[in-house]
Amino acid sequence: MARHLITSALPYINGIKHLGNLVGSQLPADLYARYLRGRGHEVMFICATDEHGTPAELAAAKTGEPVAEYCKRMHAEQSALAEGFGLSFDHYGRSSSPQNHRLTQHFAGRLDEAGLIREVSEKQVYSIDDGRFLPDRYIEGTCPNCGYEKARGDQCENCTKQLDPTDLIDPRSAISGSTNLEVRETKHLFLRQSAMRDQIAEWIDSKADWPVLTTSIAKKWLFDGDGLQDRGITRDLDWGVPVQKGDQPWPGMEGKVFYVWFDAPIEYIGATAEWADAKGGDWERWWRTDKGAEDVTYTQFMGKDNVPFHTLGFPATIMGSGEPWKLVDYIKSFNYLTYDGGQFSTSQGRGVFMDDALELLPADYWRWWLLSHAPESGDSEFTWENFQQSVNKDLADVLGNFVSRITKFCRSKFGEQVPEGGEWGTAERDLIAALTRRIRAYAEQMDRMEVRKSAAELRAIWVLGNEYLQSAAPWATFKEDPEQAAMQVRLGLNLIGLYAVLSTPFIPFAAAKLREAMNGPAEWPDDVEAALGALQPGHEFAVPDNLFAKIADEQRDEWQARFQGTRS
């Protein structure tokens, strides 16, 4: 048994997340966590809401709530939706937690002691109408790189280029829309990332197994143009982690908070500390290599826009502290999921959001489509036609149909218990050999975190059962040789038990129904022959309800029309 630490990029607190957010981090992280647990490994799966910075303040201002109350409410809503989608976090924390405050201030103090923090007087946009400085996301304007007209002051979500607010063309206040802006001087703390460039570059070069998407983005930021730049880690905001050196004041930084992208990755550690305080566990054995974390494999999941912060900023914080913290071993990054010819967008309310999705259909429908179309090698596009086709063919026709046919036939001819009689022949031995090869390939793809290839292998395993059932035709065999038909049915029922185990990472709710109906073992089928004999004659089972209803053309058309605009 190995120990695996898994973190998913933190979703912003500002509203319900769309399906593009879900498939870019949380959902594939859950897939991997469930798979590893199913193989018997010890897993710590951590996520949290990212609650600081401009998005929280702006969203709270729109609802008229105090920002702390808004974040508390939205954390509860996001937690409920995560549970609805079957995301099996060991802890879903909050970056505003006292644990994260303490850790963030601790790291800042350590970095300062190491000479990696410098104080900078810089010019910053000040809104005369709003009476305040406008850091990063409080400013919108046209991106100087790609011309996108709704770029934010920290990053353009269209081309992912990192920006400073003063880079924007035709800037305006995100609070009031005012263009009555001027540049004033203020002081901030900068993390001296440039001083650590060679150390970070050497570390990234050592990760030969990382996805090309991850390393190419990291190296672009390391070496393009002037190379890795120092980055501001404080902001003129009210809501956030107050700037301190550990537990001591930071002279000249009164009234400032740490930049959200400085404290948010630290919340991975903070959330594990939250888990420990809540459950009585030991968080340091997951994070400190001097406290037991030397045997932990740490994997992060994220969309490509988060890669620079996780390959450069967060490692600079961890390394720069000079303390024995666990560094990430593997970063699985994803491209974008687009929506019906355009972009998913939280800020613009475009696409299908998590609450909408669960209102329409059970979570497994969405989990299967999203994971089997995960944007790994390039962007993927969600269309309603493709969604309907995949659900109907893969889930209803292949898996659901197999389960329905074999269980209902058994009930009609033998009752609701595994029938006795007959011996395996050539067809059954061939099936076992084919399943053994496919399950091995499935496990290999899952170990490599190849999400789409894993889905393809799982579907192929389902297909093998259908092909066997079609060829064996126990309904025809029964007329001539009831004992032979009993053997075929018995094998089919054991296949359902096998499918329940293998399918859990992708479709956990349907898999649970199958496990409950079959009342069979839940162990990973290392020995396929043994697994297909687990349900012995006389073992009682229940015929499960229809697993997956097909999506009708009328439903598809209705949903496409409903979601062609934007959310209010």
271, 48 contact by CB (below 8 A): yes
498, 531 contact by CB (below 8 A): yes
- pLDDT for the residue 53: 87
Residue with tokens 């920002």: 67
277, 132 contact by CB (below 8 A): no
Averaged over 149-164, what is the pLDDT?
88
Burial group, residue 312, by CB count within 10 angstroms (0-12, 13-18, 19+): buried
112-116, 163-167, 343-347: range with highest mean pLDDT? 112-116
Distance from the Cα of residue 382 to its chain's centroid: 17
Residue type, 445: Q
41, 2 contact by CB (below 8 A): yes
Which pair of structure tokens corresponds to residue 257?
A: 């908070």
Averaged over 535-561, what is the pLDDT?
96
Tell me which residue of 28, 7, 15 sits closest to 75, measured CA to CA: 15
Kindly tell me if the per-residue pLDDT of 278 is higher than 70: yes
Identify each DSSP E strand in 151-305 by its residue range. Answer: 151-152, 169-173, 181-191, 231-232, 234-235, 244-245, 248-249, 257-258, 296-303
- pLDDT for the residue 568: 62
User: Quick check: helix, strand or coil at residue 30?
Assistant: helix
Q: How far apart are CA 521 and CA 518, in angstroms?
A: 9
- Residue 211 φ then ψ, to 5°: -60, 145
- pLDDT for the residue 232: 93
What's the angle, vertex CA 414, arms to CA 411 and CA 418, rounded to 5?
90
How far is residue 112 from each of residues 245, 269, 352, 436, 522, measured CA to CA in Å?
8, 20, 44, 56, 51
Which pair of structure tokens corresponds to residue 100?
A: 């994260």
- Residue 174 φ then ψ, to 5°: -75, -15
Binning pLDDT at 50, 70 and 90, where does residue 47 land?
A: very high
- pLDDT for the residue 124: 82
Q: Is 210 left (phi over 0), alpha (psi -120 to 50) or beta?
A: beta
User: Quick check: helix, strand or coil at residue 158?
Assistant: coil
How far is residue 138 from each of residues 142, 254, 347, 405, 521, measured CA to CA in Å?
14, 21, 13, 58, 54
Kindly tell me if the per-residue pLDDT of 122 is higher than 90: no
Angle between helices 451-472 and 482-503 (to 10 degrees): 170
- pLDDT for the residue 58: 83
Tell me which residue of 140, 159, 160 sits closest to 150, measured CA to CA: 140
Q: How far apart are CA 304 and CA 24, in angstroms?
A: 8
Distance from the Cα of residue 131 to its chain's centroid: 39
DSSP letters for 459-527 = HHHHHHHHHHHHHH-HHHHHHH-HHHHHHHHHHHHHHHHHHHHHHTTT-HHHHHHHHHHHT---S--SS
- pLDDT for the residue 125: 87
Q: How far apart are CA 464 and CA 472, in angstroms?
A: 12
Q: How far apart are CA 309 and CA 480, in angstroms?
A: 67
Q: Is 334 left (phi over 0), alpha (psi -120 to 50) or beta?
A: beta
Residues in contact with 328: Cβ distance below 8 Å, sequence separation at least 6, in sequence order: 298, 299, 300, 310, 315
Please, what is the average pLDDT of the chain? 95
pLDDT tens-digit map of 450-506: 999 999 999 999 999 999 999 999 999 999 999 999 999 999 999 999 999 999 999
Q: Is 177 left (phi over 0), alpha (psi -120 to 50) or beta?
A: left
Q: What percent of the chain has pLDDT over 70?
A: 100
- The number of beta carbons lying within 10 Å of the beta carbon of residue 249 is 11
- pLDDT for the residue 268: 98
Of 47-56, 189-198, 286-295, 558-567, least confident by mean pLDDT is: 558-567
Q: What is the edge-to-edge ordering of all strands in the sheet holding 151-152?
A: 151-152, 139-142, 169-173
Exposed e or buried b per residue across 154-176, where buried means at least 16 C-beta atoms within 10 angstroms of its C-beta? bbbbbebebbbbebbeebbbbbe
Q: How far apart are CA 87 and CA 6, in angstroms?
A: 12
How far is residue 59 from each of residues 15, 67, 136, 137, 322, measured CA to CA in Å?
8, 8, 15, 12, 37
Query: What torsion do the CA atoms of 397, 400, 402, 403 make, to the nearest 10 degrees?
Result: -170
- pLDDT for the residue 564: 83
Angle between helices 508-518 and 363-372 (to 10 degrees): 120
